[in-house]
Amino acid sequence: MTPRARSRLALAALALAAACPSPDLSRPHAGGARPAAPSATPAGGTGVEHWRRDGRDAVARAREIAPKGPAAQSVILFLGDGMSIDTVVAAHILEGQRQGFTGEENRLVFESFPHVALVKTYNTDQQVGESAGCMTAIMTGVKTRAGVLAMDEGVTPGVYSPDLAAHVVPTLLEQAEERGLSTGVVTTTSVTNATPAACYSHAPDRSWQRDSRLPKKAARAGFPDIARQLVEFAHGDGLEVALGGGRSSFLPPAAKGAAEPGGERADGRDLAREWLARRPRSAYARNAQELAAIDPARTDHLLGLFAFENMRFEADRGGSGEPSLSEMTVAALAILERNPKGYFLMVEGGRIDHGHHLGNAYRALTETIELANAVRAALARVDPKRTLVVVTADHGHTLTIAGYPTRGNPILGKVVENDDRGEPLPDYATDSTGAEYTTLSYANGPGYPGATDTEPEGPKYVSEHPPRVQRGVTEGPPDLRGVDTEAPDYLQAATVPLANESHEGSDVAVYATGPGAALFHGVQEQSYLYYAMAAALGW
């Protein structure tokens, strides 16, 4: 068998496994009989059937208090990657202060949604969740291990085995395609990054974004990398829209002397060109100008790759030629809304997470505000009686809002406390060592006192504007006298020194409006979101 034939066979096996029918959500226990006990439980978890039974039961309980009305025709899922509750609060204060108000009274647009819930973000093998495992829970209704995309917890992360197809769990996006809905993913990260990838691909390792990253065993078996799975997506008539960064995973290296940089595919394939060739009325955009020139009435399938890897932070986007998250959202909806059967769209504010990992609240909060702008742009054009809009996060971050700052104190600034009469004091508050401190800080990260002024190790999340860390401090807190803590490149102080700030394990909020929104209530498992969205669609 040739390598290409093995590759096609591997892709077909994944597609067949993912085409399994979705569980019947309307009858949690058909005929009054409880489903059979799940099969052997993988180490560290509880098995696929546990999560499916748990989700069906939770929907049934929600139906007892949630008024049942018309089903939603379409669903838009907004995902703020790393958008903890503290991130939302700090962002709505910052947005309000940028508008000239004290900020605390402000609300991001989705904070006015009528239904709110909390979800638990742990993975089956980690107390603190990670994006691939968390998004798999949201998109499949099955919790899994950290780093795994739309496969159950029976796989070993990062390891290829011939039976991977047996561990595939179907996603809501795939099922929407099979039912004739249009589908799309929009992100400010690479379109092959964990959150969007969990919508359309299946892999035991989120890093298998292109063939050059596959382990030798997987490559020899023809296992399709994530970029290939996007382009060769076999459900329905294929993804209608995929917008974001990640050009490197789709293109071969550039020829010598080429005007534009090439990609990093080892197989020499040009997947952007293949996208255009696979289906009629397809389009490919590389910048904001080309995206704006797309005629949605004449375009059925749109691929937009606007950066080599991740797109720029919103704070740094000016003059880059990259579209904003709001612009990409509107462009996606212009194509998807043409389908009379409806659509499913996932929109990710992915670089909220990256800003936090850098310990840089300025960029993380600016990204959060732009996610809210994208929600507002979507609400302005959808039918609220037919469209369920859900806003949530995959996990949180260690950002903390603390101290006793006076009302309206700059959220990115140093703490000014009140006197006994409730009036602001003339000087900044100081800690037990006499040092000034900020309202925002991180539990860990590169802002730890004594760090040097180099970029943090790990993924290069910032290309042109690397944040600078305070230097010259060897003990005690950093000396903030004369330091502009509201500057874009300032890194908030961290308690534990880490090259990259980490996720945190608190529950994250879910905000919902539209048909079926009342199903989002209480404290739920993250996997419940899949069952609630499917139930809202009437499945």
Q: Where are the alpha helices (DSSP H) in 221-282?
A: 226-231, 271-278
Alpha-carbon span 438 to 405, nearest angstrom:
9
Question: 3-class SS at 484?
Answer: coil
Task: Let me know the angle formed at the C-alpha of 64 by 59 and 66, rounded to the nearest 5 degrees.
Answer: 80
Long-range (24+ apart) CB contacts under 8 A made by 223-226 are 223/7, 223/10, 223/160, 223/164, 224/7, 224/10, 224/11, 224/14, 225/249, 226/149, 226/192, 226/197, 226/201
Q: Is the dihedral of CA 135, 140, 143, 145 positive or negative?
A: negative
Displacement of CA 42 from its chain's centroid (Å): 27
Q: 319: which DSSP letter?
A: T
CB–CB of 188/248 below 8 Å?
no
- The token duo for 75 is 């669903």
Contacts of 209 (CB under 8 A, 6+ apart): 190, 192, 193, 197, 225, 226, 227, 246, 249
Q: How far apart are CA 378 and CA 46, in angstroms?
A: 37
Asked about 131 being catalytic, the answer comes back as: yes
Residue 453 three-state SS: coil
SS (H, E, C) 52-101: HHHHHHHHHHHHCCCCCCCCCCEEEEEEECCCCHHHHHHHHHHHHHHCCC
Annotated active-site residue in 7, 131, 182, 326: 131
Q: Which residues contact 493 (CB under 8 A, 6 or more apart)?
A: 437, 438, 441, 442, 447, 448, 449, 477, 478
Q: Which residue's structure tokens are 């603390």?
A: 402
* Cα(338)–Cα(510) distance, integer angstroms: 28
d(CA 240, CA 322): 20
Torsion angle, CA of 451/457/460/462, rounded to 10 degrees?
-10
Give dist(CA 166, CA 407) in Å, integer: 56
State the CB neighbour count (10 A cutoff) for residue 487.
11
Beta strands at 343-349 and 182-190: parallel, antiparallel or unpaired: parallel
DSSP helix/strand/coil, 3: helix
Angle between helix axes 48-63 and 528-536 (nearest 10 degrees) is 50
Rounded to an integer, what distance in angstroms lies between the CA atom of residue 153 and that of residue 143? 7
The residues annotated with a catalytic role in the active site are 131
